[in-house]
Amino acid sequence: MSETVQEKDDVEIFTTKDPGEGLPGRVSLPGYTRTMGPQTHLFEERERLQQLTWNHFSARQLSPTIGAELEGLDLSQELPQKVIDEIHQALWDYKVIFFRDQKITSEQQIRFASRFGELEIHPFLPPNSQTPELVRFEKNAKAAGYENQWHHDVTWREEPSKGAILRAVEIPPVGGDTFFVDANAAYEGLPEEIKQKIDSLHAIHDFLRAFGRQVPKGKRDEIREKYPMVEHPVVINHHQTGKPLLYVNRIFVTAIKGLNEKEGYELIDLLCREFEILEYSCRFRWEPNSIAFWDNQAVQHYAASDYSPHIRVMERASIKGTRPKRTRR
């Protein structure tokens, strides 16, 4: 009898077992810093979310720890406070929630967003001309998308946004999806020695990295005084759930306090690569009248820039937040 399990066309098959059988969780790729294998630290949160039930809507979970489409709501209506409270809870649980087929106006979007807190006005992005509380992202052949990098919004503020509600006004025929990633999953996936290293570090955030071109040369000192560079912990605790969150991004972070420039950028890049692990993320494919509502501490997002020169128009309302904090372990 042949020593091979099976022989056909001179190809020998040497095993009957799956290559993953018996491996001890995640394994290293020889010569590289990346690992592969099951993301077991996601499983507890995955099971918790699968058990949730809601009184005023149904929820379709999009990925193990992040994202759900809420069904059965009409956001054009003045929703009772108990419904708003349950939507708020769904936001804390799923980190980002989505609504389909919501044919609402800019004014209705503002009214809905205002139920969750005071709205902020962005000084460096053009607004809807009628409603300054809404940032208007109007992409076309002259203005391509440059939001295709993982980031929390406005971390250059002393008190970054608590959340944001983005509405599709006009979408391209193909492309323009938005990705969201779980900042707690990214943190928990780090090796313990990295967690210990970053636990007490602070990052320097600066609006000039992204919006320097928007500032008139003669007003730079005035605007710098109004929006100074700020320090936020590299790891923060969510203001509602208390979960530790990785809180750095390549768009706004310019340095790590206490490290030289080279060391700082290397650490920022190392940490930001954690957000690129696909198991931590969900993907939202826009349709007409779709809305995304994300928790700006709990998630980072990434807008795919694959649709130019087609038109993509979105309007965003941002809810004022509080200064990020870290509670030591």
Question: Which residues are designated catalytic?
Answer: 151, 153, 301, 316
DSSP 289-311: T-EEEEETTTEEEEE----TTS-
Cα–Cα distance measured from residue 281 to residue 183, given in angstroms and rounded to the nearest whole number: 9
> Do 23 and 37 touch, CB atoms closer than 8 A?
yes
Q: Which of 69, 62, 105 is closest to 87 using CA atoms?
A: 69
> What is the per-residue burial (b if ≥16 Cβ within 10 Å, else e) of 288-314?
ebbbbbbbbbbbbbbbebebbebbbeb
Q: Which of 203, 168, 155, 206 is closest to 285 using CA atoms?
A: 168
One-letter amino acid at 159 equals: E
The HSE-up count of residue 105 (CA atoms within 13 Å, CB side) is: 6
> Do 153 and 302 touch, CB atoms closer than 8 A?
no
Report residue 324 as tokens: 């990020």
Q: Within its chain, how far is the Cα of 278 from the centroid?
A: 12
Cα–Cα distance measured from residue 90 to residue 85, given in angstroms and rounded to the nearest whole number: 9
> Do 108 and 102 touch, CB atoms closer than 8 A?
no
Cα–Cα distance measured from residue 294 to residue 45, given in angstroms and rounded to the nearest whole number: 18
Which SS3 state, helix, strand or coil, does residue 234 take?
coil
Query: Length of the chain, please?
Result: 329
DSSP 99-145: E-S----HHHHHHHHHTTS-EE--SSSPEETTEEEEEEEEESSSS--
Cα–Cα distance measured from residue 183 to residue 202, given in angstroms and rounded to the nearest whole number: 16
